[in-house]
Amino acid sequence: MREAEKKIRARPALAQECARLRAAGKKIVFTNGCFDLMHAGHATYLEFARAQGDVLVVGLNTDASVRRYKGEKRPIVDERNRARMMAALECVDFVTWFDEDEPKELIAELQPDVLVKAEDWAHYVSGRDVVEARGGKVVLAPMVAGLSTTKLIEKIVQAYGAGK
């Protein structure tokens, strides 16, 4: 097994690992998203999240969850490949999936100390109540202007769309 693939964990095993790390004094940071078509905005966001603690856990929407959220044409990259790309990043310590529409159940299982979301989610952060009830905090990450997966897809379709 490649080193990066060891970072991809099933939820129950990851919950045990987080409890062990927390008991050893480590601050667990959690963030989540689709992370379809990785770009520099994602990398900046994940590096910011990692800087908030000692261990960064990323919850990825499953393919079915992405389709419910983004529509039938998404994701572009399937969940196994998205997880593999995420796990290859030095700033990411663990990756797991959630199939729910929101990661609140996963957050309750992992009990992170810090929950990071992009600032465009300031109006609603799923799992905020779970984290804050334990004395943890929510941190909003700044957005990188002009970078989004949707804009990237639009640019690809313009350049390579039907009939071109």
Domains and CATH numbers, the chain: 4-160 (3.40.50.620)
| pLDDT average, residue stretch 7-24 | 97
- Global pTM reads 0.92
Query: pLDDT digits over 97-140, tens only?
Result: 999 999 999 999 999 999 999 988 788 899 999 999 999 999 99
Q: According to the model, what pLDDT value does residue 164 have?
A: 58
- Closest by CA position to 33, among listed 21, 20, 42: 42
83 DSSP assignment:
H
Give residues with Cβ within 8 angstroms of 32, minimum separation 6. 58, 59, 60, 61, 98, 103, 106, 117
| pLDDT average, residue stretch 54-61 | 98
In DSSP terms, which residues pair with 98 in a beta bridge? Answer: 61
